[in-house]
Chains A and B, each alone.
Chain A
Amino acid sequence: MRPVYLLSDPEAARRGKVWPSRLFHWLDRWAAWILPAPAVVVILLLTAFPAVYTLYMSTHDWFASSLTPPRFIGLGNYVRMLTQDERFLNAVWRTLLFTGLAVGLEMILGVAIAVVFNRDFLGRGLVRTLLLLPMVATPAAIALVWAMMYHPTLGVINYLVQLLGFPPLEWIANPRTVIPALVIVDAWEWTPLITLMALAGLAALPAEPYESAVIDGASGWQIFWFITLPLLRPTLMVAALFRTIDALKTFDIIYIMTQGGPGFASETLNVYIFQTAFLYFHMGYASALLVALFALVLSVSFIVIRLRRAA
């Protein structure tokens, strides 16, 4: 088959008559490289350059002011981070704890809600739509409203808790309850995403295994545990991966509701990085912390992906 030429007249090119025709010929030959080039350049500028520059800055000590220009210190920032910086180690632990609790809770609730919503009932479409609302609301607004609801003396949640006969809690104002309280907000916001993905997975499941299970006399719980869940597993793994990556980076709700407080009791890695860069102006150290966050997200994602392959 003859090749398709976009711009040039191959006959004219072979005859070597006019130079524009040769140019067009050259363009045709390299079209596969030239056409995506602008996109590649943009991506390099927007992602690769900052990433490499962050890596470069992370080997410097730079307290942003003209007192001290950036100073190369090799792996000094990393040594400090791992051996001296208690705030960093605590922040890593808290990030993992928050992510584990949040994603765990969201997976359980999300799948449970999806199974319920997969049945036919009156108003199903409406309820499904309503379910998505938390996900599309602005995180900053969500955080402000929750902070008000959690207020120990003026908030509505303690009012409800007391109506039920329990003693009031300090929620985000107590170092022991702040992480669970934030997990609840995150779960409220993001469980719908898991539900949505699980519903899509459920809709694609084959009917045959269910028919034979019913014939074999399996109970509803057995069907869910031995058929639905294994079949749904690939979908759920993807959902968990998405949520894990997002939860590791959670910033908005934590920063708005507690700024990492009380004390440093809810300071996750991302919040600590923000403070280090934009409040303390330690740009070099903040870059090193960012590299650590990147490594953390990458390794956790890697583990989740391996789990999925193993499934």
Chain B
Amino acid sequence: MLLNKHPWQAAIEPLFPEFETLTGVKIIREVYPEDQFRQKVTVELTAGTGTLDVFMSMVAQEGLKFYRAGWYEVLDPYLANATLTLPEYDAKDFQKAAWDAEFVEGKLVGLPIQAETEIVYYRKDLFEQAGLKPPATLNDLEAAAKQFHKPPERFGIVMRGKRAAATSVFSSFLHNFGGDWMQNGKPAINSPEAVQAFRFYGDLLRLYGPPGSTNNHWYEASAIFAQGKAAMYVDFDSLFSVVLDPEKSQVKGKVGFAPFPAGPKANLPSVPVWGIALSRQSKNKEASWFFLQWATTKEQVLKVLLKGVPGARQSAWDHPEFKKADIPLDWVETHVQQMKIGSPNWNPPVVAVSEARDIIGQVIVTAIEGGDVKAAADKANAELEDLIRRTQ
């Protein structure tokens, strides 16, 4: 089994002995930091040695590539098989956006273990002083960013601006402006809607963001917000622990959590999901399937949720024990609401995702720098077409 060094892995690993006593199956696992983890999984599966049974997987990141390569065991037959699946498993309990994320071309390829969604972190104190509500639309977001922009003490908004990393956050903007990565099977990031979204994102950061945004990944961006240097921060909601960390954050107790603002055309906040998948090369498929179920039962999801990992079962979020926990109510409500309407489509649906993200990220960087967005989008779109031709 290969695991990514991740809060979910940290929460579930201490529970492994339970599974081992329950089933008599011994779990042999290796844990790596994310980059090395992805390399290791790719190398193992390319080599086809069959020693890998179970691995963590982000379908929106590598799903299409792994699926086309035949590396995922398709799980629909297992789930439908009453002799292999626990009667109380209840797959319908998974939140919609998280469950949808585990499908490639209509086939179930993993079980969701953690879901996050893109939200607005905002300074409650500032908004209250100004008599403002958190932004409900993208226009509100821009107006608020403008109003609270008082450099160099405080910037209106902070978001990721670093090439590939920014594309994840940009995805919700793209969809809410009515654009999409692909249309009719072709890249469409130079459509009028997409160009509008790129401009909007770039303008926000150039006009109302901190200097040097193009070098900000989530850790730089969240640090600026946690230092009290920005009025709003748009990113995924799993970062709330960074913002609320009493040792690092100067804004603890002043932070509100609002849903991602609706756009002129749609309201599709992005939902990245980590799942756990079964290798088709595995020699222990049934035992591995038991592990997959065990790791995602209502009971386990509640346990990891109580440790702060946003698992994907609604029952855990509704559980009285979780409701007692010291977690901000607006964060919980925003998360649960967006899991109903969100989109798992936060990455371009291509085989060579990393390279596509770098190509698209370059348009975002151009927009932040105030360059010619349309020309950059046209160029990137042509590069994407070439990339798809070369890799698919």
Contact = CB atoms under 8 A, between A and B. Distances in A.
A271 to B, nearest CB: 12
Contact of B355 (A65, A66, A261, A280): A280
B355 to A, nearest CB: 4
Nearest to B366: A263
B352 interface: yes
A175 interface: yes
Contacts of A282: 355
Contacts of B163: 259-264
A173 interface: yes
Contacts of B211: 152-153, 168, 170, 173
Contact of A275 (B48, B229, B358, B361): B358
A270 interface: no
Contacts of B70: 66
Interface in B145-174: 152, 161-163
Chain B: interface secondary structure?
helix
Contact of A153 (B65, B66, B152): B152
B222 interface: no
A279 B355 contact: yes
A228 interface: no
B214 A261 contact: yes
Interface string A270-289: 00000100111110000000
A24 interface: no
Given A67-B65, A153-B152, A263 B214 contact: yes
B46 interface: yes
A251 interface: no
Given A175-B369, A264-B362, A281-B42, A152 B212 contact: yes
A152 B209 CA distance: 12
Contacts of B352: 63, 280-281
Nearest to B387: A280
A81 interface: no
A63 B391 CA distance: 7
Contacts of A281: 42, 352
Contacts of B68: 65, 67
A262 B214 contact: yes
Given A63-B391, A172-B215, A262-B215, A280 B354 contact: yes
Contacts of A263: 163, 214, 361-362, 365-366, 369
Contacts of A235: none
Nearest to B363: A263
B42 A261 contact: no
B195 interface: no
B46 A66 contact: yes
Interface in A153-181: 153-154, 168, 170-175
A67 B365 CA distance: 32
Contacts of B216: 173
Given A65-B46, A262-B365, A263-B365, A154 B212 contact: no
Interface in A250-268: 258-264
A64 interface: yes
A153 B212 contact: yes
Contacts of B161: 262
A261 B162 contact: yes
Interface residues of A, number: 31
Contact of B42 (A64, A151, A172, A173): A64
Interface residues of B, number: 40
B223 interface: yes
B202 interface: no
Choose among A67, A173, A263, A280 the residue with the greatest number of B CB atoms under 10 Å from its CB. A263
Interface string B217-250: 0001001100101000000000000000000000
B42 A65 contact: yes
A281 to B, nearest CB: 7
Given A67-B69, A280-B352, A173 B213 contact: yes
A64 B46 contact: yes
Choose among A65, A151, A173 the residue with the greatest number of B CB atoms under 10 Å from its CB. A65
Contacts of A259: 162-163
Given A66-B48, A280-B352, A174 B365 contact: no
Contacts of B358: 275
A264 B68 CA distance: 30
Nearest to B155: A153
A173 B220 CA distance: 12
Interface in B345-366: 351-352, 354-355, 358, 361-362, 365-366
B388 to A, nearest CB: 12
B376 to A, nearest CB: 10
A179 B215 CA distance: 14
Given A67-B68, A154-B223, A258 B215 contact: yes
Contacts of A61: 390
A191 B215 CA distance: 27
Contact of A173 (B69, B212, B391): B212
B158 to A, nearest CB: 10
Interface in B233-284: none
A172 B217 CA distance: 14
Contacts of A264: 163, 362
A282 B71 CA distance: 19
A154 B391 contact: no
B183 interface: no
Nearest to B39: A278
Nearest to B365: A263
Nearest to A155: B212
Given A65-B46, A171-B212, A259-B162, 11 more contacts: A66-B48, A153-B210, A154-B224, A170-B211, A175-B214, A262-B162, A263-B361, A263-B366, A275-B358, A278-B35, A280-B354
23 contacts: A63-B351, A65-B351, A66-B70, A67-B69, A153-B152, A154-B227, A171-B212, A172-B215, A174-B214, A175-B214, A175-B369, A261-B163, A262-B365, A262-B369, A263-B163, A263-B214, A263-B365, A263-B366, A263-B369, A278-B35, A278-B39, A281-B42, A281-B352
Interface of A: 61, 63-68, 151-154, 168, 170-175, 258-264, 275, 278-282
Closest 5 CB pairs of A and B: A173-B212, A262-B214, A152-B212, A173-B215, A263-B365
